[in-house]
Amino acid sequence: MTPSHKNTASRKSVSTRPRGYIDDYNPQEKTKRLLCDVQAVLEEYEAYWPLTCRQVYYRLIGAYGYPKTEEFYERVCNHMSNARRGRVIPFSAIRDDGVSTFGLDHFDDEEHFLRHVRELGEGYKRNKLAGQELHIEVWCEAAGMMPQLFSVAEPYSINVYSSGGFDSLTAKKRLADRICAIGKRTIILHLGDYDPSGQSIFDSVAADVAAFVERDRPWATVSVEFIRVALTADQVRKHNLPTAPAKATDSRSKSWEGGTCQLEALAPDVIASILAEAIVAHIDIIRLLNDRALESIDKRKIAGALPAPRGDA
């Protein structure tokens, strides 16, 4: 069957978009000035890479006076994408995926597996939550921010989850089942946008998961508490964050006071500080320090028990 003219034209238009690297990347002067400010933002927050595009967008607004419009946001995203293809901005500086992966723990051969085991031993980490009286998890709306939050939570052996599908029944039941299986009082530290929809979902999920846990828990001391770490009205005011009116089409906006604000409007270092403070407030520091000392002892024992590389024996 002969392709239609419409389909052929569509393929031609798609083919004009950048593919792979842009070797002759040479943006206009206006774009160069914007990218210069983008580079300054990336350098300032290099310790928190990868940043999301929206985080860079909000820092450009706050630090350099750019307009808070969706048009400017699209412009920032497009130019940063081309700048990465042109190798002006490192790919590692930005996270804009949302990809979920099912990995495979398969090995080329026996030596490959043994090498993997030795590497695991060298990177051994003791579960710092195992000796704590409670279990803690971090949940965040924006999947792109997970690496930043994980860098804060990892020293405490706290997992970070994306709550993009937080209101799904499957996600809520899995969370409740995990809490019951762990068998401890659980704290869920949540970070999300400050808006009617986000707050409503947060309240609904907290009540739903708590109801599942109460029915399925193995003993009465197992419970769950949801804590809104960010973004709150006080934080919006304290950090003078840019706001937008609540969507008139959202019925929950009728009882909402003030504007709305996205979590990514907070500077990365501020978010990290807020989350670290929330974690430390619930951690037994003495037990944490003891686990860190035992971790070093464990690592030496593991290294002595692992098989030597082939040919080194």
pLDDT in tens, 206-225: 999 999 999 999 999 999 99
pLDDT band for 308, please (50, 70, 90 cuts).
confident
> Looking at the structure, do residues 59 and 173 belong to the same domain, yes or no?
no
Strand order in the sheet with 134-140: 159-162, 134-140, 185-191, 224-230
Which residue blocks in the chain are alpha helix, DSSP H?
5-15, 29-44, 53-64, 70-85, 110-122, 146-153, 169-182, 196-216, 233-238, 268-280, 285-305
> Looking at the structure, do residues 56 and 138 belong to the same domain, yes or no?
no
> Looking at the structure, do residues 290 and 148 belong to the same domain, yes or no?
yes
Please state, in angstroms and rounded to a whole number, the distance separating the CA atoms of residues 30 and 32. 5
| C-alpha distances in Å from residue 204, one per residue of 13, 24, 228, 234 | 45, 51, 13, 22
What tens digit of pLDDT does each residue of 89-123 get? 999 999 887 677 788 889 999 889 988 999 999 99
Identify whether 183 is part of a domain: yes
Q: Count of domains in the chain? A: 2
Identify whether 150 is part of a domain: yes
> Looking at the structure, do residues 147 and 272 belong to the same domain, yes or no?
yes
pLDDT band for 5, please (50, 70, 90 cuts).
very low
> Looking at the structure, do residues 265 and 219 belong to the same domain, yes or no?
yes
> Looking at the structure, do residues 240 and 171 belong to the same domain, yes or no?
yes
Nearest to 144 by CA among 71, 59, 230, 48: 48
Where does a domain end: 72, 93, 114? 93
> Looking at the structure, do residues 282 and 181 belong to the same domain, yes or no?
yes
> Looking at the structure, do residues 88 and 132 belong to the same domain, yes or no?
no
* 193: containing domain: 127-296
> Looking at the structure, do residues 42 and 178 belong to the same domain, yes or no?
no
- Could you tell me if 295 and 125 are in contact, meaning their C-beta atoms sit under 8 angstroms apart? yes
